[in-house]
Amino acid sequence: MFNQFSQQLSQWYPKRDEQKWVLGTLYKIDGPSYRSPGAMMLFNDLGEQFGLLSGGCLEADIQKKASQVMRSKRSMTVCYDASDEDNMSFLLGIGCGGTIHILLQPVLAENTYLQLPSILDALAHRQTSIFLQKITEHGETAEADILLQDSAKFSAITKQLVRENAALIELNEHTWLATAIKPPFHLLIAGGGVDARPLANLAATLGWEITVCDPRPANARREHFMRVATILRCPLLQLVEEPLFHNFDAAIVMTHNLQLDADALAALQSSTVKYLGLLGPIVRKEQVLALAGLDKNNLAITIAGPAGLRLGGEFPEDIALSILAECQAVVNGKDARSISTLI
């Protein structure tokens, strides 16, 4: 699906001059919407689409509008109102019931590809950037800019994005959409056994970057972890010496070996992960903590053990879903309750 913007850019960049391209961006919503402002999608003249701006019901019509932008080389704004029976979105059966506003911009060499190569470079260095897109009327030239963390304006605009990933701002007497472009979520899996495979695959489907660490030669073989970015072979206690150590957003320890699990937990206590999960029952957790020399009441980083939500199921795929669901909830500051109970 290539819903992560980093994935979309990776698909676009090698073919940036081979096809005509348009960047579609959701810049404003009124009422309920499938996606939030800042959602982006790339279209080309082969009819290929990377990403989603709705639940899939509007993309074909947006592609037609994108074709007009390709021909004119000028920006366009489009509005879909699901509450209006005469509006295209109502006729297409969009189910959210809200109104969404979309900016379509041609991606051309003459407009510096809307600064997309610079964004891709920042992502490659795991740097957050602010992408600025001028909200232009029909027929205007597309304008975009990028602010890196060393920019004077970066901090000022970041303060306006505390609650949301994107916001409309006034800049130089014009309205711009400011979107924080962050590197992909980075998950460390300590242990490369059979049950780590579905965990890695599901995390990759979510668009996460994955690193697997296992010092045992028989484990974490590349042919079983094709979607993993990096496989480390260092002793788990030496994880702290790896250049990637402070890039991990979450870690799941599942080596099935008490000492190796203990080494991983000990090392990760000095990391910056927001979620640290340990596979196995509570009695095993106590054994691992003892081996690691850790006091459960005095941990630098809380350990979720047994890791996962109570979803039922017993197969590796079930357990992977359970653990990653809990991981995502914790990192996003959510309580993993049913959405229906919040209404």
Q: Where are the domains of the chain?
A: 5-181, 186-331
186-331 fold? Rossmann fold (3.40.50)
For residue 10, what are the CA distances in angstroms to 42, 56, 250, 306, 337?
A: 11, 22, 24, 36, 35
The string of pLDDT tens digits covering residues 193-219 is: 999 999 999 999 999 999 999 999 999
| 8 A C-beta contact, residue 61 and residue 88 | yes
- Alpha-carbon gap, residue 321 to 233, rounded angstroms: 26
| pLDDT value at 84 more than 70 | no
Q: Which of 39-48, 83-92, 132-141 has the lowest mean pLDDT?
A: 83-92
Tens-place pLDDT, residues 90-133: 445 555 668 999 999 999 999 999 999 999 999 999 999 999 99
